[in-house]
A and B are shown apart, each in its own frame.
Chain A
Amino acid sequence: MKTWKVLLVDDEVEFVSTLAERLGLRDLHVDVANSGEQALSQIEADPPSVVVLDVMMPGMSGFAVLERIKSMHPDIEVILLTGMGAANEGMAGLRQGAFDYLVKPLDLEELIQKIGEAMKKSAGRTRKHDGQ
């Protein structure tokens, strides 16, 4: 049985840990990674159903991580976090297979809603897989 888990990926430790705590308070199972590489290794060890991924990160960029996730685990839905005004980035992410994008600073309610939708989509697809 798969656990419904969210992985938050952002190089801003303070941001990501606080966000994780808030989501935890809302009964979501949340893991945290502070870089693209770390996120990928965690996904290998324990694949989540949804990844919330910051685009602007030092080292491996959000887009590179998205590409790797989608090639290895097409079932995992990815929500991108972009900078303000960078609508182009969000659109590029959608073309690469991201579920949706959100703009920082975040509106928590919106994030939770998106995560819910992404989970539903992921779950539906998993059921289809299971059914076969």
Chain B
Amino acid sequence: MNSEKHEQNLLARFMGIPEIGGPQRYAIIRRTFIVLMLLITVLPLLLMTVINYHQYRTVIKDEIMTPQKSLVNKTKHSFEVFLANRLATVRFISSAYSYNDLADEKKLNRVFQVLKREFQGFVDLGLINSSGIQVSYVGPYDLKGKSYADQEWFEQVKVNGVYVSDVFMGYRRFPHLVIAVQHYSDSGEFWVVRATIETRSIDQLIAAMGLDPQSDAFFLNQNGTFQTTSKFYGKVLDSCSECVPPVSHEPAVIEWKDPQGKEVLLTYAYLTRPEFILVLAKPKAEVLKVWYALRGDLLLVFVISVGIIVVVVLRLTRVLVDRIQLSDEKRELAYREMQHSHKLSSIGRLAAGVAHEINNPMAIINEKAGLMKDIIELRPDFPEKPKFLGLVQSITQSVDRCRTITHRLLGFARRMEVEIEVLDVNDVVKETAGFLEKEALHRNIGLTLLLAPDLPRIASDRGQLQQVFLNILNNAFAAVKDGGLVSITTWEKDLDAIGVTFQDNGIGMSEETMKHIFEPFFTTKKNSGTGLGMSITYGIIKKLGGDIDIQSKPGEGTRLVVFLPKKPKEQTRELG
């Protein structure tokens, strides 16, 4: 028992439930229940959602990014192949032909014509000797004799053997780029073959990527100059230094806010020769559409679940706490009732004892007075006979009064023995009213009994009924002023029940008081009441299978009707 109670206390303390009573206690229980239940349901759900969110995000981003990266990689590769092709062609020309062949502009022109026919994009072709002088040239410019000796690209081609320029705006305002190849002859001399290519071919590579209208792809050099025209960010040779993504040897993806403030995902790859960067820009919303949709669904499911949980928890808690409160109240009431009836039963035992003790001397007085009367009557010459007979008579009348008192006391004691019997409610009303006759007389209260002569007998508990009637009458007497009126009416309600109406013209009750009248410990008699009378009354009537109806207005008195079944219900038999 102790350990059990200890556990309960621990639990109560853990849940922060105070040991105080009152509505505050249930508010705290309710709050604690709700918080605890929400915590243990929503927390795992939240955890699951967060984990799912992160996992989905990783998986989906991977799934979205991988094709972009491979697209960029493929295009990069195509570009490299394209360029390698052109370089190989130029290298082949530089190796296959002798210096003299190439220096001859007629021959060079024939080679150039074949080149233009077989490979698209070539704009011019020229030979430069080891001193950097343009020896021969076929193309739209007049470059023959021009010296490149002190130009940087010439130095680079001497060092690397190969040179690929950035894009520049060349002939007819078309973007071009230059490729140059160095060739050493057997005698150790070198010459350089230089060709210009239109970048239209590069644009075709980008077009081949098959991008949707919101997407963009372009080549940049490492200074951020556009090598091809971008759909959104600038024309060829325009500069966009903030478009340059961080260096990476692998195709990579970054999130980027473009100059218009749009969230964009950049997929890019760095090329080695030329040092270009291929950039694929897609609006983030477009790319992550699937992810956003999924995220929305996830959030929706979470919110709906939490909503359902909250509703269920709130309802459940309300039902649960209401039940706890109800059972607490019932238990409390039962306990108080038991205490009250214990008190009454000890008073009853005391009363019975007193009645018995008084009975014996009363019997003696009675007999002595009787004997005196006998003697007086038997002696015809007894002096002042009438006076003595009068005295004796008043003694025996007093004994009769005592007899009535002890009768009542014992009747009160007998009420403790609970049992259902067939009884006449009129008798019980008369008996109970008898208790208050003296008070009614003293206070000049008109106590009227309007008892139905043909009231059917009912099966009920006499003692309990007496207590009920006495409680109600006591309240009525407390409510009326001296000289007030209290009436009791008995009547047959229907086939199954009778009614007992108590009407007074006392101070009445406010609606607020009526609301609480059957609650234990509710009292308007601040100093004298226990607040138990009406709650016990209500409990007894309910136990007897009856009901109670109360109507009252402040200043106009109270009308209280007790309905009693003619036959007790099954459960009433457990009474006592």
Chain A interface residues toward B at CB < 8 A: 12, 14-15, 18-19, 21-22, 25, 56, 83-86, 104-106, 108
CA of A86 to CA of B413, assembled, Å: 11
> Is B561 part of the contact surface with A, judged by Cβ < 8 Å?
no
> Is B38 part of the contact surface with A, judged by Cβ < 8 Å?
no
* Residues of chain B contacted by A15 (CB below 8 angstroms): 360, 363-364, 367
Q: Is the CB of A106 within 8 A of B366?
A: yes
Q: Is the CB of B359 within 8 A of A22?
A: no
The distance from the CB of A13 to the nearest CB of chain B, in whole angstroms, is: 9
Cβ-defined partner of A12 (8 Å) among B356, B360, B414: B360
CA of A68 to CA of B378, assembled, Å: 39
The distance from the CB of B74 to the nearest CB of chain A, in whole angstroms, is: 112
The distance from the CB of B300 to the nearest CB of chain A, in whole angstroms, is: 78
Q: Is the CB of A104 within 8 A of B368?
A: no
> Is B362 part of the contact surface with A, judged by Cβ < 8 Å?
yes
Known contacts: A84-B406, A85-B414. The answer to whether A19 contacts B367 by CB under 8 A is yes
Cβ-defined partner of B378 (8 Å) among A25, A85, A105: A25
Cβ-defined partner of B368 (8 Å) among A14, A84, A85, A108: A14
Known contacts: A25-B378, A85-B413. The answer to whether A105 contacts B371 by CB under 8 A is no
Q: Is the CB of B352 within 8 A of A14?
A: no
Q: Is the CB of A108 within 8 A of B370?
A: yes
CA of A21 to CA of B370, assembled, Å: 10
The distance from the CB of A46 to the nearest CB of chain B, in whole angstroms, is: 24
Smallest CB gap from B402: residue in A: A105
Smallest CB gap from B358: residue in A: A84
> Is B543 part of the contact surface with A, judged by Cβ < 8 Å?
no
Instruction: Beyond the given A18-B370, A22-B371, please list 4 additional residue pairs across the A-B interface where CB-CB is below 8 A.
Output: A15-B367, A84-B359, A105-B363, A105-B365
Smallest CB gap from B377: residue in A: A25
The distance from the CB of B43 to the nearest CB of chain A, in whole angstroms, is: 68
CA of A19 to CA of B364, assembled, Å: 9
Known contacts: A84-B403, A105-B399. The answer to whether A22 contacts B374 by CB under 8 A is yes
* Residues of chain A contacted by B363 (CB below 8 angstroms): 12, 15, 104-106
Smallest CB gap from B414: residue in A: A85
> Is B355 part of the contact surface with A, judged by Cβ < 8 Å?
yes
Q: Is the CB of A105 within 8 A of B366?
A: yes
CA of A54 to CA of B280, assembled, Å: 122
Q: Is the CB of A14 within 8 A of B356?
A: no
